[in-house]
Amino acid sequence: MYRALHTPKYMIVFNLALTDLCGSTSLIPKLLDTLLFENRYISYELCLSYMFFVMFFSSLQSWTLATMACDRFVAICFPLHYHRVITKSSVFWLLLFVWLLCLCIMGTIVVLVDRLSFCQSVVVQSFFCDHETMYRIACNSASVNAQFVLFGGVVVIIIPLTVILCSYMSIAVVLKRASLADSLKALRTCSAHLILVAIFFIPLIGARTAATLPNSNPNIRMINFMLTYTIPSLLNPFVYSLKTEEMLTLIKNLYVKC
C-alpha cells in the first residue's frame, strides 16, 4: 500500500505539500495576529524575513506545479520512456534546482529592498511585507527593484505557466489520436493537477493585474492578496487527496484499520 507512494511522481507531490505547509506556517500566524489582535506592527528585520519566506514558498509552488506538468507530459506522451526519464534521481536534481533558483531570486529581492531608505513613510499598505509595496514607499531610487519585479515575475509566473501550457497542449495533441477510454484515463490522471494550477495561478494573476490598475482600493487589494496567498495552501492537500487514486486507496485502508 505505502509502496505505491514511493515513486518520483509522489516526490513532487511531497514537495508541493512541504511548500504548502511551510508557506502557511510563514504567513498565517502573523496574519491571525493582525486580524484577531490588531497587532499591525512588525520590526524591519522580521518584515524582510516575512517577505522572503512568503514569496520563496509561493515561487516554489509555482515551479513545483510546472514540474508536475512535465511528469504528466512524459507519462502520457512518452509512456514507454517514462521510467527511464522520470526517475527518483532526476526528480531530486530537478527539485533541487528549483529550490536553488527560487532561493537566489527571493534572496536577491530581499537584498535589493535592504539597500533602500524609508525616510517618509513606514506604513506598508498590504497584509504582509510585499516587495512591490515596500519599494514604492522608499525615498531613494528603486528603479533596480522595479526592473527585478519584472524579471522575477517572468521567472516565477510566466515561465512555469508556459511550461504547463505547452505540456498540456502536447498532451491534447496526443489524446486526439487516442481512444476514448485512454483519453478519459489520461484526463483523470491530470484532473487534480489542472485544479491545482487553476487554484494557484488564476487568483495570483488576477491579484497582480488588479494591483496595477490606477485608483485601486487598498483594502480590496489586501483582501485579494490575502486570499491569493492563503487559499491554495489550504486547498491543495484536499484536492490531491480526493482526486488521486493512490491517495484515496491509502485513506480507505487507514480508515478500515481504524
Greater confidence (249 vs 172) lies with: 172
pLDDT tens digits, residue range 143-168? Answer: 888 888 889 889 999 999 999 999 99
Q: What is the DSSP string of the chain?
A: -GGGG-SHHHHHHHHHHHHHHHHHHHHHHHHHHHHHH------HHHHHHHHHHHHHHHHHHHHHHHHHHHHHHHHHH-GGGHHHHS-HHHHHHHHHHHHHHHHHHHHHHHHHHHT---SS----SSSS--HHHHHHT-SS--HHHHHHHHHHHIIIIIHHHHHHHHHHHHHHHHHHTS-HHHHHHHHHHHHHHHHHHHHHHHHHHHHHHHHTSTT--HHHHHHHHHHHHHHHHHHHHHHHHHH-HHHHHHHHHHHHH-
The CATH superfamily of 2-257 is Rhodopsin 7-helix transmembrane proteins (1.20.1070.10)
Please give the model's pTM, rounded to 2 decimal places.
0.86
Confidence of residue 1 (pLDDT cuts 50, 70, 90): very low
Average pLDDT of span 229-245: 74
Domain boundaries, the chain: 2-257
Please write the tens of the pLDDT for every residue from 121-147: 677 766 677 777 788 778 888 788 888
**pLDDT: which is higher, 194 or 225:** 194
> Does the pLDDT at position 187 exceed 50?
yes
Supply the pLDDT for residue 145: 86
pLDDT at residue 6 is higher than 80 = no
